[in-house]
């Protein structure tokens, strides 16, 4: 049901994009109001969310340690999985963010199979990693639409991306990967009943939305052949806050644009915020040095305690009988010793 | 695939249906015995049982394999009938695979069921025994303590 | 026909996870906290009730209390706020939970456990949840939801195994603890947590042993250690001016097999001539408060520093205990520090400065002993442990909340000649919990514990079959209390012991009499007895 709803919403967006381009008012909304509004929501929303997290204190020092601690000088610590220094934390976070270290941890017992086999959980790692890197590459490539002249590094990226030089126009590897990875992640959500069990509307919606963006983009490049020049002119004008008349734009491009804008506006309200959140996770971004350096809790408050004096008073007779030394005599005066 | 292997596979499949459907693909699919101890318990022990039922019916081996299964089922959230239902799942499986079940095999399955019942009871008794042991131990230490909240 | 005689429908799927209905069954639930314990601690809503009752006698404004409590914690804990927001439900944590593996209940997936509270967060604290309700993954807070929280938050041992595998480090222990805190606000707590907390608060230890009883237990153990070794072993209590305060979990002096570990500590301290004291006031290292709320954790933990200050010791040494060390390592200094009245710990025997404990001033006994062995300061005869084929169970908190992995192994390799590891994905940071931690280790909950402990037992069974392992060592009091029962059920023939029990066995003490038994009173194997007389030092 959740999946169905989210497909319907994405399809409705596509139709709105396609249809909206046919009337002038629709075009204006789609090319002016929507992109700027989406951008504003994205920027304000994203930073507001991150700032709100950052505003909340980290009262306790709770890293999850995944390797040997640094304690005795002659025992080799695990510097990345159980960092004790800032550099260690930096390396751990880098491994987490760039390589998805924790997802990679799913190892299988070797005795189960004689050969090295990629388990389903390694596929999750591979799928997720492939998706994120491909998406990053695609976004960087898109910068060429907003910058004139196109910087050399973007050209370089594109050459790298079309390394295999197949097809005309040449096929970008990242396009293939992003589609395959999205398809896998979606398939996994459907196929694995346990994952399906916990999947919400938002989980499917994010996937279908991304899939919509990717598919419309691929259609424009390889099949419908949108006039890239007019798109670039439009993009440059948007970036310069002097939008030009959008009447020459292809409806498919408008659908793509609307999907992208939806994604941007939806982003701050969704689980996609893990992009910002991962940097702030206190089980990952703290060094395991809580015995070496005191972590301060800004809202630490005094609590009701059962003090030694109360305890001694309560058990005075028993303490005396047992011959355990006391602080105060029977009259309650501190003993001098 | 041998007939025996087919029977084992289908039996495992059927037996695992006693768990919520969300669990089937994990319990049936994950092969690492340490990541999936429940699924592995079924695969390993049901295979051993089929081997014995179709073979020499070695009592000791049957008891060992049954023990692994029954011990697990006895602590999970099942009524006794649900817990031991996996034994009776074998009948339709053999029926599917070979059409009919021979009389000797019928009685072997009956025997299996009775053994499973005995083991189930002994597991449940063991659980209560262990519980009593713990209680007794705590009671003893608590008596030593005699303190606690007033 | 016989095949139609017994026909039971296959289990229905859990279906929509938002359905909060749960069934409390005897043997698979913890009893509610007795009113007297809540009253003693000054906690809300003390009353007589049980989880299986239909009426939980919640306070009339329970919903407001819970939502206010959530709001308060969302503003205080970045962990909580973040973990409510960023989960993508990838499912990587699912099969990492021992309760999920043992119960085969999909709601025991760590992600599902968190969703129980996340759904309420979305409904009441996010814009999309308030606007779109269940479409945005929101869920109304009802009494059934409270019952469901209780059911599943008391089916989590806060072992943090899932957090190792989560790409964002989402820590279910954090969510469970805050979930339990919220339940505490309306008086939904379990006795096996609250009674120990009340006892600790009053007498200093979780069974409520009063000072004279504490002294009796310690003296009794000291006498036994003296008898075994033929040496005069005494343990000072509340002695001012000692160099070191030694704090252990109270189970060490009243429960077996913990007791043998206590004998081991005593013998070790005697042999190296340690200037130390134990305290009857701070006679519990294990912190049951940490199973209920941050505040109770702090209230109990405060005794340790207070007592160290009163006694005027230089630093603190801590015994073998899991949750205790999570608190000592990650919370104590923050909550009750700074410990500026203590000195940076230095081993009086080896001179090693424990730089890693420079601020907290508390050292783990395994760190201390490994350092002694490394410097050749004690003589060990590992042959005295030849009757044990040993494996080591990493206790969750020292493993995933500290990274104390190699120290105990280093010691084991010097006190035992037969040490075998369990499979790789069940040890170190991937260790499986005993299934009874965080206050669940009570007898009425035995069936749930047996389910949760199954993955651990499964790995023990493997090393028993492969290497003939007959002793599982660990450094956690809850492990020692609950794994014997667990293994008696799943893997009969494997005993449970502490690292320092084996140290005590192997320790060759100056002037000791010839040992014929181990600390348990079991006779040593023949060749060991023969070797006993001229036992050479076997240290590194």
Regarding whether A183 and A165 lie in a shared domain, the answer is yes
Enumerate residues 6+ apart whose C-beta is below 8 A from C47: C35, C57, C187
Answer whether B34 touches A (CB < 8 Å).
yes
Does C187 or C27 have the greater pLDDT score? C187
Q: Are residues A269 and A327 in the same domain?
A: no
Please determine, for residue B139, whether its predicted confidence score (pLDDT) is greater than 70.
Answer: yes
Residues whose CB falls within 8 Å of the CB of residue C138, separated by 6 or more in sequence, listed in order: C119, C120, C122, C123, C124, C126, C129, C130, C132
Nearest CB to A291; choose among C75, C335, C357: C357
CB C74 within 8 A of CB C61: no
Neighbours of C48 (CB within 10 A): 9
**pLDDT at res. A322:** 93
- CA dist C3 and B145 (Å) reads 57
Identify whether residues A210 and A168 lie together within a single domain.
Answer: yes
- Per-residue pLDDT, averaged over C238-256, amounts to 94
* Tokens 């492939």, residue located: A130
Q: Kindly list the distances between the CA atom of residue C128 and the CA atoms of A52, A133, A271, C175, in Å, as whole numbers in the listed order.
A: 17, 29, 12, 22
Domain containing A315 equals 304-337
H or E segment to which residue C507 belongs: strand C507-508
Q: Where are the domains of chain C?
A: 35-188, 199-532
Strands C507-508 and C379-380: antiparallel
Exposed e or buried b for every residue in C359-398, given b needs 16+ CB within 10 A? bbbbbbbbbbbbbbbbbeebbbbbbbbbbbbbbbbbbbbb
Closest CA to C503 of C329, C320, C331, C338: C320
Q: How many helices (H) and strands (E) does chain C have?
A: 24, 9
Which tokens belong to C326? 């999570």
Q: Model confidence at A23, in pLDDT bands (50, 70, 90)?
A: confident
Note which residues in 15-54 of chain A have CB less than 8 A from chain C.
49, 52-54
- Residues B84 and B147: their CA atoms lie apart, in Å, by 45
Instruction: Determine contact: A194 vs chain B, CB below 8 A.
Output: yes
End-to-end CA distance of chain A: 78
Q: Which residue has the tokens 């606690």?
A: B148
Subunits close to C (at least 3 CB pairs below 8 A): A, B
Q: Domain B3-145, CATH 1.20.120 — does that match?
A: no
Angle between helices C477-490 and C446-467 (to 10 degrees): 70
CATH of C35-188, one of 3.40.462, 3.40.1800, 1.10.3470, 1.10.1060: 1.10.1060
| Per-residue pLDDT band at C387 (split at 50, 70, 90) | very high
* Count of structural domains within chain A: 2
Measured between alpha carbons, how far is C172 from C163 in angstroms, rounded to an integer? 7
Cβ contacts of A336 within 8 Å, gap of 6 or more: none
Q: How far apart are CA A209 and CA C155, in angstroms?
A: 36
Residue A313 has pLDDT above 70, yes or no: yes
Q: Nearest-CA residue of chain B relative to C40?
A: B149
- Write the CA distances from A68 to C362, C394, C420, integer angstroms: 18, 12, 19
Residue A193 to residue B22, Cβ atoms within 8 A: yes
> H/E element holding A137?
helix A120-142
pLDDT at C527 (0 to 100) = 59
Tokens of C3: 């095949």
Largest CA distance in chain A: 99
Indicate which of B116, B145, B146, B150 best probes the interface with C, i.e. most C CBs within 10 Å of its own CB: B145
Q: Is residue A42 located within the same domain as residue A174?
A: yes
pLDDT digits (tens, 9 = 90+) for A91-128: 999 999 999 999 988 765 444 444 445 455 688 899 99
Share of chain C above pLDDT 70, in %: 94
- The complex scores an ipTM of 0.92
Gap between the Cα atoms of C330 and C323, Å rounded? 10
Between CA C159 and CA C326 the distance in angstroms is 10
Structure tokens at A173: 């590897």
> pLDDT category, B26, cuts 50, 70, 90?
confident
Tell whether C59 is within 8 A of chain B (Cβ).
Answer: no
* Distance, CA of A266 to chain centre: 14
The pLDDT tens digits of the residues spanning B27-46 come to 988 888 888 999 999 999 99
CA of B150: which chain C residue's CA is closest?
A: C36
Cα–Cα distance for residue pair C238/C307, rounded to 1 Å = 9
pLDDT in tens, A235-257: 999 888 888 877 778 889 999 99
Find chains touching chain B: ≥3 CB pairs under 8 Å: A, C
Q: What is the pLDDT of residues C99-134, one digit of tens each?
A: 999 998 999 999 999 999 999 999 999 999 999 988
- Give CA–CA dist B69/B32, Å, rounded: 17
CA distance B1 to chain C (A): 26
Residues B68-110 have pLDDT tens digits of 999 999 999 899 999 999 999 999 999 888 888 888 899 999 9
Residue A257: give its domain's CATH number: 1.20.950.20
State yes or no: cis peptide before B54, omega within 30 of 0: no
Both A209 and A320 in a single domain?
Answer: no
Residues of chain C in contact with residue B22, where contact means CB-CB under 8 angstroms, are: 13-14, 106
What is the rounded distance in angstroms from the CA atom of residue C344 to the CA atom of residue A69? 18
Tens of pLDDT, residue by residue over C302-324, are 999 999 999 999 999 999 999 99
Does residue C410 belong to the interface with chain B, where contact is any CB pair within 8 Å? no
Percent of chain A residues topping a pLDDT of 70: 93
Q: C366 near C408, Cβ under 8 Å?
A: yes
Provide the pairing of β-strand C390-392 with C471-474.
parallel
The C-alpha of C166 sits at a distance from chain A's nearest C-alpha, in angstroms, of 6
| B37–C458 C-beta distance less than 8 A | yes
């Amino acid at each position: 049901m959740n999946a169905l709803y989210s497909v319907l919403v994405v399809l409705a967006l596509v139709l709105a994009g396609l249809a909206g381009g046919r009337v002038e008012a629709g075009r204006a909304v789609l090319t002016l109001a929507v992109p700027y509004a989406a951008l504003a929501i994205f920027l304000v929303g994203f930073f507001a969310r991150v700032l709100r997290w950052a505003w909340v204190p980290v009262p306790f020092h709770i890293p999850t340690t995944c390797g040997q601690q640094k304690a005795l000088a002659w025992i080799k610590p695990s510097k990345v999985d159980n960092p004790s220094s800032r550099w260690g934390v930096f390396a751990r976070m880098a491994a987490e963010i760039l390589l998805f270290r924790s997802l990679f941890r799913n190892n299988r017992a070797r005795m189960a199979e004689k050969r090295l086999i990629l388990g389903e959980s390694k596929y999750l790692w591979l799928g997720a990693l492939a998706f994120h890197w491909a998406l990053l590459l695609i976004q960087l490539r898109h910068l060429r639409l907003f910058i004139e002249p196109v910087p050399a590094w973007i050209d370089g990226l594109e050459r790298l991306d079309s390394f295999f030089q197949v097809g005309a126009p040449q096929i970008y590897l990242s396009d293939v990967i992003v589609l395959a990875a999205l398809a896998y992640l979606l398939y996994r959500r459907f196929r694995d009943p346990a994952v399906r069990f916990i999947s919400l509307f938002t989980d499917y919606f994010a996937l279908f939305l991304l899939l919509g963006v990717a598919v419309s983009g691929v259609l424009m490049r390889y099949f419908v052949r949108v006039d890239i020049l007019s798109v670039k002119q439009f993009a440059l004008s948007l970036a310069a806050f002097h939008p030009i008349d959008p009447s020459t734009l292809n409806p498919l491009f408008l659908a793509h644009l609307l999907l992208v804008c939806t994604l941007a506006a939806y982003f701050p309200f969704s689980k996609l915020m893990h992009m910002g959140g991962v940097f702030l996770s206190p089980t990952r971004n703290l060094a395991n040095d809580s015995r070496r350096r005191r972590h301060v809790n800004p809202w630490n408050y005094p609590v009701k305690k059962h003090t030694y004096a109360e305890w001694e008073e309560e058990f005075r007779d028993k303490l005396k009988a047992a011959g355990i030394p006391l602080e105060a005599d029977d009259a309650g005066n501190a003993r001098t010793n | 695939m041998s007939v025996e292997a087919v029977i084992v596979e289908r039996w495992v499949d059927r037996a695992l249906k006693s768990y919520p459907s969300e669990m089937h693909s994990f319990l049936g699919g994950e092969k690492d015995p340490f990541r999936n101890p429940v699924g592995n318990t079924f695969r390993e022990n049901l295979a051993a049982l089929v081997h014995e039922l179709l073979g020499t019916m070695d009592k000791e081996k049957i008891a060992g394999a049954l023990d692994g299964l029954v011990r697990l089922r006895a602590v999970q959230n099942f009524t006794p009938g649900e817990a031991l239902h996996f034994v009776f799942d074998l009948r339709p499986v053999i029926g599917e695979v070979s059409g009919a079940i021979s009389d000797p095999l019928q009685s072997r399955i009956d025997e299996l069921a009775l053994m499973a019942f005995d083991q189930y009871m002994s597991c449940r008794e063991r659980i209560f025994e262990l519980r009593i042991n713990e209680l007794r131990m705590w009671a003893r230490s608590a008596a030593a303590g005699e303190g606690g909240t007033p | 026909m016989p095949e139609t005689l017994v026909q039971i429908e296959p289990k229905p799927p859990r279906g929509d996870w938002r359905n909060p209905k749960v069934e409390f069954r005897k043997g698979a639930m913890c009893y509610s906290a007795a009113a007297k314990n809540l009253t003693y601690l000054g906690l809300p809503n003390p009353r007589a009730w049980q989880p299986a009752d239909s009426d939980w006698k919640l306070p009339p404004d329970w919903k407001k209390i819970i939502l206010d409590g959530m709001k308060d914690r969302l503003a205080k804990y970045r962990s909580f706020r973040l973990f409510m927001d960023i989960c993508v439900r990838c499912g990587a944590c699912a099969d990492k939970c021992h309760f999920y593996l043992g119960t085969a209940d999909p709601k025991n997936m760590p992600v599902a456990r968190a969703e129980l509270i996340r759904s309420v967060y979305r409904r009441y604290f996010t814009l999309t949840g308030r606007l779109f309700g269940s479409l945005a993954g929101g869920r109304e807070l009802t009494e059934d939801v409270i019952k469901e929280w209780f059911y599943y938050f008391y089916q989590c041992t806060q072992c943090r195994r899932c957090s190792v595998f989560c790409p964002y480090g989402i820590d279910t222990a954090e969510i469970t603890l805050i979930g339990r805190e919220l339940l505490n606000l309306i008086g939904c707590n379990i006795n096996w947590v609250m009674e120990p907390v009340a006892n600790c608060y009053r007498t200093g230890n979780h069974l409520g042993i009063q000072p004279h009883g504490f002294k009796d237990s310690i003296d009794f153990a000291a006498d036994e250690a003296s008898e075994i070794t033929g040496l005069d072993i005494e343990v000072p209590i509340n002695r001012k001016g000692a160099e070191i305060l030694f704090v252990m979990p109270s189970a060490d002096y009243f429960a077996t097999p913990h007791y043998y570990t206590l004998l081991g500590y005593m013998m070790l301290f005697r042999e190296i001539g340690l200037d130390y004291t134990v305290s009857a006031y701070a006679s519990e290292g294990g912190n049951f408060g940490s199973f209920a709320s941050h505040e109770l954790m702090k209230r109990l933990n405060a005794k340790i520093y207070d007592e160290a200050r009163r006694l005027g010791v230089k630093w603190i040494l801590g015994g073998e205990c899991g949750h205790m060390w999570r608190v000592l390592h990650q919370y104590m200094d923050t909550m009750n520090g700074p410990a500026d009245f203590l000195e940076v710990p230095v081993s009086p025997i080896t001179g090693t400065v424990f730089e890693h404990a420079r601020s907290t001033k508390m050292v783990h006994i395994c760190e201390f002993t490994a350092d002694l062995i490394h410097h050749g300061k004690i003589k060990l005869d590992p042959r005295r442990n030849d009757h044990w084929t040993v494996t080591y169970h990493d206790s969750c908190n020292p493993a995933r909340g500290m990274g104390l992995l190699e120290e105990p192994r280093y010691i084991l390799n010097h006190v035992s000649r037969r040490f075998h590891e369990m499979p790789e994905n069940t040890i170190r940071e991937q260790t499986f919990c005993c299934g009874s931690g965080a206050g669940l280790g009570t007898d009425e909950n035995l069936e749930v514990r047996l389910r949760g402990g199954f993955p651990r037992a499964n790995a023990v069974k493997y090393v028993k079959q492969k290497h003939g392992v007959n002793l599982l060592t660990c450094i956690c009091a809850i492990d020692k209390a609950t794994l014997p029962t667990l293994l008696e059920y799943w893997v009969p023939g494997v005993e449970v012991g502490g690292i320092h029990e084996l140290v005590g066995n192997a320790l060759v003490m100056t002037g000791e009499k010839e040992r014929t038994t181990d600390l348990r009173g079991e006779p040593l194997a023949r060749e060991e007895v023969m070797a006993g007389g001229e036992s050479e030092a076997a240290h590194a």
